[in-house]
Structure formats: C-alpha cells, structure tokens
Structure 1
C-alpha cells in the first residue's frame, strides 16, 4: 500500500508537469501576434522560437550540470534528431501549409486529432490498454476543441485535399513529440533531449525556409524582447516540463489530453489580452475540454485505489 501511494504521488507530479507544459504552450499565440506585429514573417517566427530556446538552454545547462550534461550517446542523438526534424521543423512546415490552404480554424481542428495518433501508437509501442473511458475522453476532448475554435459556426470549416492532408500530417508529427520523447526520457536528461531537438529543429528550419533573409527588417529592440520571451516561456519552459513529465510513470495515451489545456489558455488570452469575443458555444467547449481532463484523472485515481486494496 505504501508503494502504491508513493507511485501515485509520482504520477500526480508527472501529470501536473504535463498540465503546466500545456499551460505555457497556451501562450504561443500571444508571442506570435506580438512578433507578427513588429513585422516578423511566419517562417522567421518559427525559426526564432527554436533558435532562442536553444541559446537560452546553454547557460541553464552549464549552471545545472556543467559540460557533462551535453554528453549524449549515438542512440540518444538519433532520437533527438528525429524529434528536431520531424516534430519541430517538418511539423511547422506542414502546419503552415495547412493554414495557408484551409485557414487557421480548420488547421487547428485537424491538429487536435494528435491525441488519437498518440492513443494508437501507445497501444502498439507501449502496450497500453485503450478502454472505453479513454475513447470517450478523446471524443469529448476533440469536440471541446472544435467548439472553442469555431464557436459552433461551421462556416469556419474549409475543405481542401491538400490542406487536410498536411493538417493530418502535422497532427501525426506533433504526436511524435510524446512518443519519441517518452522513449528518450528513459535514458537521457530532459535538458539534453530538449537541447539537441531544438538544435536539429532550427537547423532544419533554416535549410527549409532561410528565415534570416528577412531578419534585418525587424531587428528592433521589441523584436528581440518578444523573441526571447517566445524562446523562454512556451518553448524552453514548456518542453522541459513536458519531457520531465514524460520521464515519470505515466500512461502516454493520457498525456495529450491533459496537455490540451493549452487550447483553453490560448482562448482566455485571446479574450482578456486581445479583447476577442467569447460566446456561449466557446464557453461550452472550454467546459467540455476540461471535463475530458477530469475524466482521465478520476479514472486514474480509481485504478490506484483498486490496486491498493
């Protein structure tokens, strides 16, 4: 019984770290709007996020672990390479193509199918059980996201074979953060995983879009302040919490549901900071999404009590 309580406590910390990561990710829209407001292009914004995150991590890692924390074996380097290229660089490319083809609302809805991919892969790779309550939580989570993004107005939803294909590809690549991150977190320090994934990510984005060509036009003080905040809060802070949480004894299929609090935070920032309108349907979407997170944790608690008896 003592072991079960200790294990449950560790799980709670892990899920709280995932929740915290999602909360910080919810500020992404704030920084994107601030950077866009000073003239930064979409490709430059994506590049600066990873590049600034990479730079910010260097002194943090030196202070916490010295040079030894940068050491990584070949297997770990390959995992970080996959994270950086697939889940950072190519993900951003696919998501931007989807937005350009079907709009922000539809692309966002397609991105929120990522938990479905995580659920499927967690069963195949980690042999997790997919019970009816998980399926129910996934369904209402997706429904909540849909209502928050569209406000119930179906005119926001656009159809395009290219846009939908790239949107689903972005969702799959986004889901790999959880899967590959879980595999890597078992053997590598979270700081190290995040550092090398950022490194490979900004290098790949640089090759794809050459964003520095436009940096001269926006290199004022405000741009660098916003870029630093973007690299620190929804990038370094969120990924360190996320990878740290994945290192705990968590059910991976539950992780993206809990991290979806990002959508709620983003919506509330839009209302309170940018004075965006929030109707009854948006509020209903928030309640539904938060309910999916509660369902996951209520079920977890019940399972732990049963195990303890």
Structure 2
C-alpha cells in the first residue's frame, strides 16, 4: 500500500465495515419498533439534510437535460433500491444479505457491458458465472426456512443489488460531469420526494413513544454512518485509487456480518441467529467472493462488444 493512499484504503475499510455492521444493526429495530418503509423515509430525509448542508459550499448548477437522469437515479437508485434492501433485511438473515450484496460488482460489470459497451474478458465471464451461482444458491436456500433466512427476503436483497448496480452504472456520466456532492445531494432529494407519498403514512402510524435509546442510536447509525459517511468515504477513495480496489473491499462485508452474527448467537445467546451459520452459506460466500475476485482481475483476452 502506497503511503500517499493509506487514507483512501482506511476510508474504504471504514465504509465496508460499516456496511457489514449495518446488515445486523438495522435489522435490530425492524419491525418491532420501526417498519422498513418508515425507516427508509427517515433515512433518506436525514441523509438529504446532511448532504444539502455540504452542498451549500459546492456552487454548481445542473443542466436541464440532466434532470431526467438525476430523477431515474433518485427514484431507482435511492428510494426503490433502499426500500427493497430494508424490506428484504426485515425478512431474512443479515448473513444472507451481506453475501448477496457482495454480488454488486458482478452486476455492475454486466450492466457496464450492455449500457456502456465496456469490454469484458473471458476471466470476468467465468467470474460472473461463479458469483451468480453462489448468489442463486443462497437465494434458493432461503426457502429452507432455517434461522432467519427466507426466499422472499433473499430475493428482495438480490433485487436491491440489481437496482444499486444499475444506479452505479447509470449515474457514472453525471459523476464525470459534476462534483459528486452535487450529484448525491440531488439524487437523495429526488429520492425523498418520491418517498413522501410512499412512506408518509407509515411514518405517521409509527409509535415513536415506544422508541428506546437503542432505537434512536440505530437510526442515527444508519443515517449518519451507513448513509452519509460511507458515501463520503467512497467518493474520497474513488478520487485516490482505481474502482477495482474499491470493489475488492466489499469482501469484508460478509466477514463482518459473520462475526457479528456469531457474537449475537454464541455470546449473547440468540438461538435463532445460531442457525444462520451453515455450510451452504459459507459455500455461497466463497463462490460469490471468488466471482468478484475474478472480475476484478486484468486480462488481455477480451470479448468485444457488438
């Protein structure tokens, strides 16, 4: 690791440890204290306020022709994407969510091939097949109903990964044209506007009087750490290191989730979580991580796009 890039690597490490923790931290208050839709409403509102506070110092205007792309990114990449994730997490295991989410780099490669006409190598195709097999194995395994895993929850998490991967590719031209803070501020604002009719009733019906200190701490963690800080960490890292380095840190998320679930299961005595660590999940994790590793490798044998 080059000394001048150690801050970028520290930022990536921090972001992915936070992501890995979020898979179990966010689930801790759903649905007993806060429903998934209301949680997303609060998350996007809080993050929007934080991003627009920073945006005040970034003086930049958006071309009218780019508002449609911003709207698509805000609705699909922020609102719908996060709704799928939280509803999926509400129904399935944190370990399942972290492993399936690791497939994002594989999906980004697929979308980049079709949407941006980026070249793809034979090694990367092999990586897609292996990673896809691991994700599919885990999704279907959710039907076994062991621990906190469910087929529907896993399917929603995978749908979330698809939307997020699409967002990462579709937002790329905007990131090249404008300051990242400008783009993120707008997509979160648009995502929040979309969430008003979708989530306002859930927020109104939420019993805030039942919230404990832990509930508020979890919400604060998701808004400030999982959303605001991780976006800033990733923006900073991408300005210092290649995207493939950024993608490689996603390997940490299943590891962090495995550790946290193990603590819940074997230290805190949560019997339900104890059933979440199985051979199939470990195998799925290995397959997905292997697939992501292969697509991050450089190769001279390329398949040309049409």
Give yes or no for the alignment of 1:242 onto 2:234: yes
Query: In the aligned structure 1, how far is the partner of 2:288 from the partner of 2:109?
Result: 17
Contact 1:17–1:244 (CA under 8 A) maintained in structure 2:
yes
Q: In the TM superposition, what is the alpha-carbon distance from 1:198 to its structure 2 partner?
A: 1.9
Find the counterpart in structure 2 of residue 50 from structure 1: 44
Find the counterpart in structure 2 of residue 192 from structure 1: 182
Query: In the aligned structure 2, how far is the partner of 1:295 from the partner of 1:16?
Result: 23
Query: In the aligned structure 1, how far is the partner of 2:173 from the partner of 2:11?
Result: 17
Q: In the TM superposition, what is the alpha-carbon distance from 1:51 to its structure 2 partner?
A: 1.9
Contact 1:111–1:167 (CA under 8 A) maintained in structure 2:
yes
Query: In the aligned structure 2, how far is the partner of 1:127 from the partner of 1:15?
Result: 29
Find the counterpart in structure 2 of residue 307 from structure 1: none
Query: In the aligned structure 1, how far is the partner of 2:137 from the partner of 2:50?
Result: 36
Find the counterpart in structure 2 of residue 306 from structure 1: none
Find the counterpart in structure 1 of residue 115 from structure 2: 125
Contact 2:9–2:237 (CA under 8 A) maintained in structure 1:
yes
Give yes or no for the alignment of 1:71 onto 2:60: yes
SS in 2 for 1:27: helix
Find the counterpart in structure 1 of residue 164 from structure 2: 174
Aligned 1:1-309 pairs, distance under 5 A: 21-36=15-30, 39-59=33-53, 61=54, 67-69=56-58, 71-74=60-63, 75=65, 77-94=67-84, 104=92, 115=105, 117-145=107-135, 155-156=144-145, 170-210=160-200, 211-213=202-204, 214=206, 216-245=208-237, 250=242, 259=250, 261-275=252-266, 276-277=273-274, 278-297=277-296, 299-300=297-298
SS in 2 for 1:69: coil
Deviation string 1:184-227 (CA, Å, 9 cap, x unpaired) is 22122222222222222223222212132015344554333221
The CA RMSD over aligned residues, in Å, is 4.2
Q: Of Structure 1 and Structure 2, which has the larger fraction of its residues in helix?
A: 1
TM-score (norm 2): 0.70
Query: In the aligned structure 1, how far is the partner of 2:174 from the partner of 2:168?
Result: 10
Query: In the aligned structure 1, how far is the partner of 2:219 from the partner of 2:151?
Result: 34
**Cα distance change on mapping 1:111 and 1:281 into 2, 3 Å:** closer
TM-score (norm 1): 0.69
Task: Report the count of equivalent residues.
Answer: 282
SS in 2 for 1:73: coil
Question: Any stretches of 5+ residues in structure 2 without a counterpart?
Answer: 267-272, 301-306
